[in-house]
Amino acid sequence: MCRTTAPLLKQAGKTYKIPLIIHDFPLPMHNWSFEAAVTAHYFDAHSKELGTDYRDYIYEHQVEITPQNLRSFSDKFAADHKVSLPFVIDPQGKLKAEVNAEKDTGNKIGIHQTPTIYIVSNKPGGRPYVEVTDRTQLFQTIDAMER
């Protein structure tokens, strides 16, 4: 689902000129996803755009990735973007702690699936947020929140 939803979210952000905020919530069924999230946080430290691009790249190749070849995908992304990727990405465990904190937050608010999409409003008096449960209704939901 993340693989097919990521481009839709990116398009919604561009179309509506709204920020897209991503929090990592690695799932055990993707036994490489925690390490990918740590690497995404490494790229975030260079720039949020680079981190977002890495996530998009990983989503695009999601069906090909295994624990054994994730590093190869990450190395290729880094080389293509002219960024060095150290042998040990997170020696102090800071990035791992960031990913765990995001996952803990998701658990506390009851996230049970990914992707989980919220449209958040900054208008007073209305609903502060709405969850998009049907991604085919994303644009209609944004339109309704804008009204």
Single out the residue of 57, 69, 1 nearest to residue 29, CA to CA.
1
pLDDT recorded at residue 124:
82
pLDDT tens column, 53-87 = 999 999 999 999 999 999 999 999 999 999 999 99
* Overall pTM > 0.85: yes
pLDDT recorded at residue 75:
98
Q: List, in order, residues 6 or more apart from 6 with CB less than 8 Å away.
A: 55, 56, 59, 60, 115
pLDDT recorded at residue 45:
95
Q: List, in order, residues 6 or more apart from 50 with CB less than 8 Å away.
A: 43, 44, 81, 83
pLDDT recorded at residue 122:
84
Domain boundaries along the sequence of the chain: 2-110
Across the range 87-100, mean pLDDT stands at 97
Give CA separation, 141 vs 23, 35, 121, 124, in Å: 20, 33, 11, 18
Residue 72: CB atoms within 10 Å = 11
